[in-house]
Structure 1
Amino acid sequence: MKISYILPRLFILFLLASCQNDDSKKQQVMLKDYNIIIAPDLSNRINTHLYPKPIHDTVLIQDIVSHSDDLLKLHNRSSGQLDVYKLDFINRGILNTSSFDPKKMTIDFNQFSNNQLDRASYIRKGLKGDVEVFTDEVNRVYDYALKNPSGADVWNYFNETIKSSLVDVSPKRIDGSNKIIVDKKNTNVLLLLTDGYIESTNKGRGYRLGSELVAKIRKDYNASGKRDLAAFIQSDSTYAINRTDFNLKDVNIFIAELVDRSLDPSGAAKEQPTDFQIIKVIWEKWLKDSGCANVKVIQAVNTKEQFYQEFEQFLKTL
């Protein structure tokens, strides 16, 4: 083999090795943008005469959206954030039978991806007005749903409907310097407001979680003499909700406003284990079996401040 052929190849290999070594010494930084999907269960749970709770959904939704400028700063983010907040419908049929405008229920910082000056101006001057428009439209949605009640097919929402609201979470290289490699990725976050009971048009076992199943689990558990409720529920497949066909690996799910019907008006448990303790185990197992790595389930809160703190803390863990 000629020396003139060997030398160029050795030089190329040396350059490749040098580049790899340089990259290995660089600090890697991951920046996140949040795609926050707010999906309320608009079944009869929103009827406060039937199911009273401390804070109305609309107040909680408004509070989260009103804090969007604060959430932009999570994880020490200081500029270029492209977060999106939007209301989603578990049953999309509501959009087909009404005049709601999804754009009015969207706060989109992504629209300023190429102009940071406009973005800063929007936060100072335009954001407050859009939050008010968002809130007014959400109030209209709840008024309509209260007068036109329908079920909430939560199982099918996770299995099919949610797909169109998710964004690509693959990291993308956006910047680089002699010492830093910067990657950016989207993080899908679903904020689900529900009472915890799962309705479905499919009447088969494994698609519904009603009061009858909760009562059966409580009776079976108390009769078993077991001490670990989670282990007891997880060991019996007849208690489980079927995992979704769609893999939820790209979704982080925050489930809130579960109203524990086993508590009396003063908050004391009428039965043990409580409805919430049972429902929480089933939801967590179902969603994790469906691929979701990050799930948080909380009961109905007493103040909007408590709700925001819970949600913000969840985002900090992602």
Structure 2
Amino acid sequence: MENIQKKQKKKKDKKPLYILVAFLLFFGLFIYAITRPSTQSKAMKELETSFNKKDVEMVWYKYKADLYQDEEFLYETRKKLTELNLNEEEINECRGWLPPPPTSINLIIVPDLSRRIIDTLNNPNQIKNDIFVLETIWKSFVEFSKLKQDTKDKLIVDVTDIDQAKGQFGEVANNLQFDLSTHKGKSNRLFFTSEKNEQFESSIKEMYKLAKDKPLGADYRFYLRRYLVNYIKKPTLFENIINKVVIITDGYLEAENKPADTKIYGFEKQLHNSVSIGNTLQVITNYELNIPKVDIDLSNTEVLICEVNERKAGKGFDFEILKTYWEDWFKRMDVKKVSFIQREQANEITAKRVTEFITK
């Protein structure tokens, strides 16, 4: 009995020791848990010591399963790749294994403000038609952008002629630039106010009023070389940019006091026959009539040419010829996609196709 009591007493004497050991063990585990490197911090440290694209890619795949949705890790990965000054091909390779960045639209509208707008014989009510197309573009742009936030969506309406770009035309064009890149931290709905709608509509009408009084030739080849090249944006590791260019024209490329780029007159017989046979591009190429290529990278650009309308003298052949000219020209400049809309009898058909081009 006495021995049992002694043993029980010894156990009681050791109980505080057990509690102390347990506490120290728990405390040690707690300290280890809060001080050990996290998966994110280990990944960040490895990014810091990455010296080339391959190193960064290996870090990405190593931690991808755990940090795929970690915005900070993704940001630092893109930042590190940007600091490496990669060429365009290497950037595209990285875009292939990184999650897709947010997408913004860069919309450039270039109406032909030449004498086509007052040619009532071939293009009756052309100004009214053009304004309808432009208003459709604006509404489609608003619908595409308004539900987003922190995008860099942009819309500009520009003119092709350098003389038109000066003076009053230039002032109007300044009111036809809408850039959401500075609209940060707020819904895009707050950008598209009734005042913005009024600004667009009134500026468009003023532009055509000025053009009606002083129509000039539409030199699109010059425009691409001098102006469009500065508006086209390239996608980055932080942002995907889709360039969309809308050209509103009857299709005849005829700059003021210059030979036509879409050469038809003088070759009517050969070109009209080619439409019937189906070898228009071959005939254009054989006679070396192709529109000269402009040195511009349009590989990330989609183009819509609308309101194309052959003249009475075209005798039902010019539309196919003009379409071939434009498609060949843009394809040789590596345009991602070319769409061609003739002038429709029903505006609703045009509106539907324009909206699809912008929003899809």
Using the size of structure 1 for normalisation, the TM-score is 0.74
Distance in 1 of aligned mates of 2:271 and 2:337: 26
Report if aligned partners of 1:153, 1:199 keep a CA contact under 8 Å in 2.
yes
What SS is found at the alignment partner of 2:133?
A: helix
Distance in 2 of aligned mates of 1:147 and 1:16: 59
Report if aligned partners of 1:262, 1:275 keep a CA contact under 8 Å in 2.
no
Greater RCO structure (CA 8 Å; 6+ sep) = 1
Report if aligned partners of 2:280, 2:324 keep a CA contact under 8 Å in 1.
yes
Q: Structure 1 residue aligned with 2:248, among 190, 193, 206?
A: 193
Residues 308 and 30 of structure 1: CA distance in aligned 2, closer, same or farther (over 3 Å): farther
- In the TM superposition, residue 250 of structure 1 has moved relative to its aligned partner by 3.8
Q: C-alpha offsets along residues 231-263 of structure 1, whole Å, 9 cap, x if unaligned?
A: 534652523111113333343211110012259
Distance in 2 of aligned mates of 1:143 and 1:300: 21
Equivalence for 2:237 = 172
Q: Compare the two structures and name the one with the higher helix fraction.
A: 2
Cα RMSD after superposing both structures = 3.2
What SS is found at the alignment partner of 1:297?
A: strand
Q: Compare the two structures and name the one with the higher strand fraction.
A: 1
Equivalence for 2:326 = 283
Report if aligned partners of 1:71, 1:312 keep a CA contact under 8 Å in 2.
no
Residues 239 and 130 of structure 1: CA distance in aligned 2, closer, same or farther (over 3 Å): same
**Segments ≥4 residues shifted beyond 6 Å:** 12-16
Distance in 1 of aligned mates of 2:136 and 2:356: 15
Equivalence for 2:303 = 253
* Aligned pairs for 1:85-164 within 5 A: 85-98=155-168, 100-112=171-183, 114-117=184-187, 119-123=188-192, 126=193, 128-164=194-230
**Range 290-299 or range 27-36, more displaced:** 27-36
- In the TM superposition, residue 149 of structure 1 has moved relative to its aligned partner by 2.0
Q: Structure 2 residue aligned with 1:64, among 120, 126, 137?
A: 137
Q: Return the index of the structure with the highest Cα Rg.
A: 2
Equivalence for 1:221 = 274
- In the TM superposition, residue 211 of structure 1 has moved relative to its aligned partner by 4.2
Residues 60 and 18 of structure 1: CA distance in aligned 2, closer, same or farther (over 3 Å): closer
Equivalence for 2:265 = 212
Q: In structure 1, what residue type is equivalent to 2:162?
A: R
Using the size of structure 2 for normalisation, the TM-score is 0.66
Residues 259 and 15 of structure 1: CA distance in aligned 2, closer, same or farther (over 3 Å): closer
Equivalence for 1:81 = 151
Residues 105 and 283 of structure 1: CA distance in aligned 2, closer, same or farther (over 3 Å): same
Q: Which residues of structure 1 form unaligned runs of 5+? A: 1-8, 174-183, 264-268
Equivalence for 1:20 = 61
Q: In structure 2, what residue type is equivalent to 1:171?
A: T
Equivalence for 2:103 = 32
Report if aligned partners of 1:35, 1:188 keep a CA contact under 8 Å in 2.
yes
What SS is found at the alignment partner of 1:34?
A: strand
Distance in 2 of aligned mates of 1:38 and 1:293: 17
Q: Which residues of structure 2 form unaligned runs of 5+? A: 1-45, 69-97
Equivalence for 2:340 = 297
Distance in 2 of aligned mates of 1:262 and 1:185: 44
What SS is found at the alignment partner of 2:161?
A: coil
1:236 to 2:286 alignment? yes
Equivalence for 1:308 = 351
